[in-house]
Structure 1
Amino acid sequence: MRVLISGAGIAGPVAAAALGRAGIDAVVHEAHPSPAEHLGSFLTLAPNGLSVLRTLDLLDPVLDAALARSTAIEFRNGRGRGLGRLSDGSHDLAPGLQSVSVMRGALQARLAEAATAPGTEIVYGKRLTGCRATGSGVVAEFADGTTAEGDVLLGADGLHSPVRTAVDPAAPRPAYTGLLNIGGVAEGAAVAPTPPETTRMVYGRRAFFGYQTDDTGRVFWFVNAPHPEVGRREAEALGPGHWRPLVTGLFRDDLPEITAILDASPDEHFLPFGVYDIATLPHWCDGPIGLIGDAAHAVSSSSGQGASMALEDAVTVARCLRDIPDPARALATYESMRRERVEKVVAEGRKRGNSKLATGAVQAFFRDAFMSVVIPMIAKKKGHSWIFDHRIDFDAPVAPAAA
């Protein structure tokens, strides 16, 4: 069997590595001309995602690239009043499964390196423009006029997936959550360090701010700001001269640490992108063509699970293709195994994002009161353990789903 994979972000290289371990030939085609190591801000890898990397012997290079452990969240309002603290419980797990923050570009580069080490091929500069099933397999078509043939095609090509359009031309578009995301790194900001392994989340009067310091004094930060939808090209055209004063102005009445962090950050870190999700997608596969990662289920960054869901997808689809000879049946089984969990995580991310839209004084008052009660209850009952505790046994055999 030969599997074509479109996209060398997170899901693509890991799916290729998992398929290689299963004895299946895989080749990854990526639109960018080279590994996009400097692309994007930072993200979180949670224990459920890290366990996938450990299973595939990909964990060490990723941990080497990590910025810091991030095993707890401390919530405050814009005046600095504490609203609660949540731990992900990963200190009780095996070494290496403690949540970490990592730059997206560095993560993608390390995964690509690790996936190609045993022989997986990643071909850059191949932007997929179309694909089709042939009856005996699939054909992928690229912008440079070339094609590739295989038995299966996996679309790991992200939020605006061309493969998704091929699977279902009527598929719902990703839904804008009402938030823009901006993130970066500050050097030399005059702020006190956050508690060890803790990300501080601040519900400001007008926007949401998260940050964590590392041992060198660097600060990794992000902003979620309510804003009308803005396309990537429009955001770039407006430039830092528009976005920097807008972002800093959102926090002028909040904790002074936020202003200090933003002032210490370079202009290029103030380019926003919209936060989107897909609540449900009618079809993840069509015969031998399937979707993984954000192509199948865009998850809001507020969930903290986008990368980990992609990793779970990658190892699951590899197991199904390993154990079920018919590619169409294998992909349908993968979808049936993943859909319920993923859609529950998407809903959780949307709920968390909605709390960041409460910017009026009355809304903020009730939000703060609610969170002061609910967060300790969640912490006591380990209410998010269903997300973090999920594990996938790669060696366990997969039975086909009912037709």
Structure 2
Amino acid sequence: MVGAGIGGLTLAVALRKVGVDAEIYERASELRAAGSGLSVMTNALTALDSLGIDLGLDKRGQAVTSFTMKTARGRLIKEEPLVKVADEIGVPCVCLSRTDLQHALLDALGDTPITLGATATGVETDDSGAVVHFADGTSARGDVVVGADGFNSVVRRQFTGPDEPAEDSGYISWLGIVPFTHRRLPPGAVAHYWGKGSGFGLIDIGHGRFYWWGTKNMPEQRSHNWPGGKDEVLRAYSGWAEEVREVIQATPEEDIIGVPSRDRAFLESWGEGPVTLLGDAAHPMLTCIGQGAAMAMEDAVVLARTLRGATDLSGALRTYEDLRRERTRMMVVASREVSDRWHMESRIGRLRRNTALRLARHADLMAVQRAALVFPDPDAA
């Protein structure tokens, strides 16, 4: 497979579990995760458990115990029932750093070979499988090739062409991880704060650390070329809740990452013949609902189970794609809708948004969370 991100590593672990040999080719010269955090949602952990995979993430991170939505100044809007639905299912949502998740996956890989510094340039197929070509002139052949090479996937370009546009969402995301505690943030807290064209999140990732993200509407030209600077981030959240200002202040400037927010048009066809896509290479999505990593992990489990014992490998890949298409489409659409809702600048629009959330029926919110957090196990259908 091409790519050793979360999706690629999870697929390698899942394939090992079902007795399928795999090789990973990664363009980076070393495996080093970005300094940010993420959530491995209940649905992803349930998917892994269906193959008997336990990464021990509860020891590496922190299970979510509360999920609150607040105004910029910290006034409660609503407590989301994510924890209640996770308790109902019997599997938590766990938040941790990307580095900790990467280490957990690498520990589970065993002797699966990983070739670093292998920059893929293209894929060719023939009657016996597929060949991946690399920038150094080498190549690798496999019965199946999986593009798990992220947002700028080389394998995806085989199907979309080199000029497929990215869709900018109109804001920047600032990210950081720092040792932090606050009286308003109990263990396992996830708190989202929403202001005028901007938002902020505080997430307990365990071991005395918090992961935070901040978003602010910004022209594409600037968000894609943000020069850095802690002072700008502090100014963006002047007057916000004290815990928001304090966590930014506590974060060293060099540990604050700024990335543009973007996705792509949903891709209906993920592959041809012995080639398919997985994770962000197949269905990049905005981060607003925290399901990006979970979707890649679900993909990996479903693909491994579909390939297990398969004799028609190309047919198995099309089956995998059919099983995953509508589930991932739902998440991509939901992430865009939430993004638009939380980044509006109109005062009236924001008032209506907050009021609608305050008045939302508990049963309706539970239904929304169930739709996301229940893994649609193909074998149970």
What is the TM-score of this pair, normalised by structure 1? 0.87
Within 1, Cα distance between the matches of 2:294 and 2:52? 16
Partner SS state of residue 128, structure 2: coil
Within 2, Cα distance between the matches of 1:296 and 1:171? 16
8 A contact 1:74–1:199 mirrored in 2: yes
Range moving further from structure 2, 27-36 or 53-62: 53-62
Partner SS state of residue 60, structure 1: coil
Partner SS state of residue 281, structure 1: coil
Equivalent residue in structure 1 for 2:50, among 45, 51, 55: 55
Equivalent residue in structure 1 for 2:75, among 81, 84, 89: 81
**For each residue in 1:276-321, what CA deviation from the matched residue of structure 2 results, as whole angstroms up to 9, or x when unmatched?**
2234103201111110001000121112110110011111112222
Who is 1:270 aligned against? 256
Q: Is 1:366 aligned to residue 352 of structure 2?
A: yes
Partner SS state of residue 253, structure 1: coil
Equivalent residue in structure 1 for 2:64, among 53, 64, 70: 70
Within 1, Cα distance between the matches of 2:132 and 2:276? 13
Work out the percentage of aligned pairs sharing the same amino acid: 29
**For each residue in 1:136-172, what CA deviation from the matched residue of structure 2 results, as whole angstroms up to 9, or x when unmatched?**
2111111222110111100000011000001331784
Per the alignment, do residues 71 and 292 of structure 1 end up closer, same or farther by CA in structure 2, a change over 3 Å counting? Answer: farther
Equivalent residue in structure 2 for 1:180, among 159, 172, 180: 172
Within 1, Cα distance between the matches of 2:24 and 2:283? 20
CA RMSD for the aligned pairs? 2.4
Within 1, Cα distance between the matches of 2:107 and 2:119? 20
8 A contact 1:279–1:343 mirrored in 2: no
Letter of the aligned partner of 2:216 in structure 1?
A
**For each residue in 1:331-383, what CA deviation from the matched residue of structure 2 results, as whole angstroms up to 9, or x when unmatched?**
1111111101110111111111112211232332222222212274533x432
Displacement after TM superposition at 1:214 (Å): 6.5
8 A contact 1:175–1:276 mirrored in 2: yes
Per the alignment, do residues 78 and 377 of structure 1 end up closer, same or farther by CA in structure 2, a change over 3 Å counting? Answer: farther
Who is 1:260 aligned against? 246
Per the alignment, do residues 397 and 149 of structure 1 end up closer, same or farther by CA in structure 2, a change over 3 Å counting? Answer: farther
Per the alignment, do residues 42 and 71 of structure 1 end up closer, same or farther by CA in structure 2, a change over 3 Å counting? Answer: same
Within 2, Cα distance between the matches of 1:397 and 1:146? 42
- Following superposition of structure 1 onto structure 2, how do residues 174-253 of structure 1 map, counting pairs within 5 Å? 174-188=166-180, 191-213=182-204, 217-230=208-221, 234-235=225-226, 238-240=227-229, 244-253=230-239
**For each residue in 1:24-54, what CA deviation from the matched residue of structure 2 results, as whole angstroms up to 9, or x when unmatched?**
21101111122214x2410111111012233
Q: Is 1:31 aligned to residue 31 of structure 2?
A: no
Who is 1:352 aligned against? 338
Within 2, Cα distance between the matches of 1:56 and 1:113? 17
**For each residue in 1:371-400, what CA deviation from the matched residue of structure 2 results, as whole angstroms up to 9, or x when unmatched?**
212274533x4322011012436xx499xx
Range moving further from structure 2, 253-262 or 214-223: 214-223
Per the alignment, do residues 377 and 24 of structure 1 end up closer, same or farther by CA in structure 2, a change over 3 Å counting? Answer: closer
Range moving further from structure 2, 69-78 or 367-376: 367-376
Within 2, Cα distance between the matches of 1:172 and 1:231? 21
Displacement after TM superposition at 1:186 (Å): 3.1
Equivalent residue in structure 2 for 1:166, among 132, 149, 158: 158
8 A contact 1:132–1:140 mirrored in 2: yes
Range moving further from structure 2, 297-306 or 17-26: 17-26
Per the alignment, do residues 35 and 249 of structure 1 end up closer, same or farther by CA in structure 2, a change over 3 Å counting? Answer: same
Displacement after TM superposition at 1:207 (Å): 1.4
Within 2, Cα distance between the matches of 1:219 and 1:193? 13
Count of aligned pairs: 379
Per the alignment, do residues 306 and 60 of structure 1 end up closer, same or farther by CA in structure 2, a change over 3 Å counting? Answer: same
Unpaired runs of 5+ residues, structure 1, are: 399-403
Who is 2:87 aligned against? 91
Range moving further from structure 2, 303-312 or 97-106: 97-106
Partner SS state of residue 50, structure 1: helix
Partner SS state of residue 234, structure 1: coil
Letter of the aligned partner of 2:258 in structure 1?
P
Within 2, Cα distance between the matches of 1:214 and 1:138? 40
Within 2, Cα distance between the matches of 1:373 and 1:233? 37
Within 2, Cα distance between the matches of 1:397 and 1:387? 17
- Following superposition of structure 1 onto structure 2, how do residues 319-330 of structure 1 map, counting pairs within 5 Å? 319-330=305-316
8 A contact 2:268–2:325 mirrored in 1: no
Displacement after TM superposition at 1:192 (Å): 1.8
Partner SS state of residue 363, structure 1: helix
**For each residue in 1:202-223, what CA deviation from the matched residue of structure 2 results, as whole angstroms up to 9, or x when unmatched?**
1123410111346765332111
Q: Is 1:150 aligned to residue 142 of structure 2?
A: yes
